[in-house]
Structure 1
Amino acid sequence: MPTVIGVTAPDLILPPPDQHTPPAAVLQTPQGRTTRPLEASLSDMHALLEQHGYVIVLCPASLPASALHRLHTVRSVLESDRIALLDLDLPPLGLSLLALQLRQLSLCDFSPGVLASAARLLSHYIYAGAVLSSVTKLDRVPVSLKQHAKSWVPGSQFAVLANPKPQLIRLGSGGQGARLEPPPFATQLLFAKGQLQTEWVTSTLARSWHVQAIAEAPLPAESARWWATGKLIEFAAAIPDISVLYQLVSSVKREECHWCGLELIGDRCGFCSSPLPETENQSRPQGVLTTGHQRKAISP
């Protein structure tokens, strides 16, 4: 069985585009008033390891500390180096897309270590944001005092791009004239409606980004906490072609982790979080994108 991709809530699982994509595993953790015995969490993780060998869990940055602590406790108690806990600062809908991409790539010939470290690489190619009615409590992207003040104007709406590069604009009447920086490659657009009414995402944004297709998904429960408001429409654009994703990952030089021995790409092991030694990493620029030909690989 391929390496299993895990998420922390069932609403972070997107339906697969085909019958071959493996399902994701839901690692239920204690959140809010919900309690779940540690023994149950240990049993679930042990079963996944027995069936798949390796588990890669994508953890939202907005996940409560108690939930993240439970996952680390499970890994510690099981004393397993086959569990990767990846804390990624992607909005929930973008994280769902990343989980789907990794599920698709898990069927390819990538080792578990490469697949885990590929999450950081692929996250750079997911354009994730939202339309918000207010940015007064938003702390995920920089908000100027002027933009903060305009949040108090009735009817104000803001378009925010959180990844890969933060950007915030105020939408005018009907959202006309506002523009977020588009992806320089072909994408499909996914959106999820919260308690906000606007067609800006499916009309203005979709046209300016020249997306190949548009689809709607349910809004993840984690979105309101991540964006600090329930009055939003979340969106995310990503590369839909699995062959392009495969080429992107396979074009990066592979290294061996000096701590756990697994293969990796980039500058850090996804399983043990150990960075590459300075002697191996000194010729690399910061981040996981190391050569120009990787960007060419995804040009439309």
Structure 2
Amino acid sequence: MPTAIAVTSPELVLPSPDRHTPTATVLQSAVRSPKTYSLDQALTDTHQLIEYHGYVIVLYPASLPEAARHRLHAVRSVLESDRIALIRSDLPPLGLSVLALQLRQLSICDFSPGVLASAARLLSHYIYAGALLGSVARLDRVPVSLQSHAKSWVPGSQFAVLAAPAPELVKAGGDAVPSGPGFSTQLTYAARQLSVGWVTDTLAPAWQVQGLVEARPSDESTRWWATGRLVEFAAAIPDISVLYQLVSSVRREDCHWCGLELIGDRCAFCAAPLLPPPERTATAGAPGATGTRALPRGAT
């Protein structure tokens, strides 16, 4: 079975684009109250998920309530499992949903669990996530100038705010749009109490997107963007072959702690950093260097 991709809310699960792409698992330990879903249930369900899939990659937003985040780490700690990767993301909700979909697509490829989990960080840099907002007066997740705050009180004002890969804000209405991707993307959008016209008729052509996909608006988006009047959008690479090439082009290393493959500078499963080249060579030649070991400090 492919490595399981798990999320902390059903709102983070986009429909599969084809019959080959598996869906994401929604972790009930992050959704339901401890009063209705005990720690024992969470441990049992997570253990079964690991036994069935081998490895589990959990994507959760930075905005996840502290109690739910502690529960995720508690389950991993009690199970003493180095087969669960907990990946925190600063992407807004729709951007995180798109990232989860990309990992779901890649989970059926020949990538090892360590490479697949590490790819989450890499792919995040290629997702242009933002929103058209009716107000930025209460927005605190993206830097907003005092002047923009003042303008947001003017009736009819709208702002295009880019949260990733770099924050940017422009006043919507003219030809100005946030900086877009320089590669082929598909634009996913979700509207709540605001017309999608600017996103589909101005932003999409300016970014030269290859397709538009409408998604359901989420309650988490309202909380994240601090307004109920918005059109959230995320432009990302939809082609699995391009995603595969992108991940394959990055040099792979073996984690000196748990032995899994990784790309980047840190193992997504045990949180051990990549050693400097001289130490890496010495560790690779040490007896039992790739054996399973206890989790390093900070992994849970």
TM above 0.5, yes or no, is yes
In structure 1, how many angstroms separate the alpha carbons of the residues matched to 2:251 and 2:30? 39
User: Do residues 14 (structure 1) and 14 (structure 2) align?
Assistant: yes
The residue aligned with 2:49 is 48
- Pair 1:89-2:87 in alignment: no
Instruction: Work out which of the residue numbers 231, 234, 247 in structure 2 matches 1:233.
Output: 231
Deviates more, 1:189-198 or 1:59-68: 189-198
Residue 221 of structure 1: how far off its partner (Å): 2.3
* Aligned mates of 2:103, 2:95 — CA distance in 1: 12
User: What is residue 290 of structure 2 aligned with on the other side?
Assistant: none
Partner of 1:126: 127
Deviations 1:31-68 (A, max 9, x none): 69774311221121111001001000000111111111
Which residues in structure 2 correspond to 1:29-178 (within 5 Å)?
Answer: 29-30=29-30, 35=35, 36-171=37-172, 175-178=173-176
Normalised by the size of structure 1, how large is the TM-score? 0.89
User: What is the CA deviation profile of residues 59-110 of structure 1, one whole-angstrom value per residue up to 9, with x for unaligned ones?
Assistant: 0111111111110010011110000000010111111111111011111111
Displacement after TM superposition at 1:154 (Å): 1.4
Contact (CA 8 Å) 2:9, 2:31: kept in 1 or not? Answer: no
The 3-state SS of whatever aligns with 1:236 is strand
- Deviation of the 1:153 alpha carbon: 1.2
Letter in structure 2 aligned against 1:248: L
Q: Which amino acid aligns with 2:57?
A: I
How many angstroms apart in 2 are the aligned matches of 1:82 and 1:3?
10
Deviation at 1:223, TM superposition (A): 0.9
Shift of 1:246: 0.3
CA distance in 1, matches of 2:21, 2:278: 35
Q: Is the 8 A contact 1:29 1:70 kept in 2?
A: yes
Work out which of the two has the higher radius of gyration on C-alpha atoms and give 1 or 2.
2
Change (3 A) 1:119 1:147: same
Query: 2:287: which partner in 1?
Result: none
Change (3 A) 1:267 1:246: same
Cα distance in 2 for residues equivalent to 1:40 and 1:194: 35
Distance 1:183 1:10, change over 3 A: same
Q: Could you say which residue in structure 1 is the equivalent of 2:267? A: 269
1:189-228 correspondence runs (5 A): 189-228=187-226
Find out whether 1:28 has 2:28 as its counterpart.
yes
Alignment partner, residue 291 of structure 2: none
- 2:31 and 2:21 mapped to 1: Cα distance? 29
Provide the rounded CA distance (Å) in 1 between the counterparts of 2:34 and 2:237: 36
One-letter code aligned to 2:239: D
Report Cα offsets for 1:151-202 as digits up to 9, x if no partner. 111111110011111110112xxx2222111110000110001122341001
SS in 2 for 1:247: helix
Query: Could you tell which deviates more after superposition, 181-190 or 35-44?
Result: 35-44
Please state how far the C-alpha of 1:262 moved relative to its aligned partner: 0.8
Distance 2:124 2:44 in 1: 30
Task: Give, in angstroms, the shift of residue 206 of structure 1.
Answer: 0.7
**Identity over the aligned pairs, expressed in percent?**
68
Q: 1:63 to 1:37 in 2, by over 3 A?
A: same
TM-score, normalised to structure 2's length? 0.89
Q: Is the 8 A contact 1:189 1:206 kept in 2?
A: yes
Q: Residue 31 of structure 1 contacts residue 64 of structure 1 at CA under 8 Å; is this kept in 2?
A: no
CA RMSD in angstroms comes to: 1.7
Q: Tell me, yes or no, if the aligned pair for 1:116 and 1:270 is still in contact at 8 Å.
A: yes
Unaligned runs of 5+ in 1: 283-300
Q: What is the CA deviation profile of residues 196-218 of structure 1, one whole-angstrom value per residue up to 9, with x for unaligned ones? A: 23410011001101111101000
- Contact 2:55/2:83 (8 A) holds in 1: yes
> Which runs of 5 or more structure 2 residues have no equivalent in the other structure?
281-300
SS at match of 2:29: coil
Tell me how far apart the structure 2 counterparts of residues 198 and 253 of structure 1 sit (CA, whole Å).
41
Query: Letter of the aligned partner of 2:94 in structure 1?
Result: L
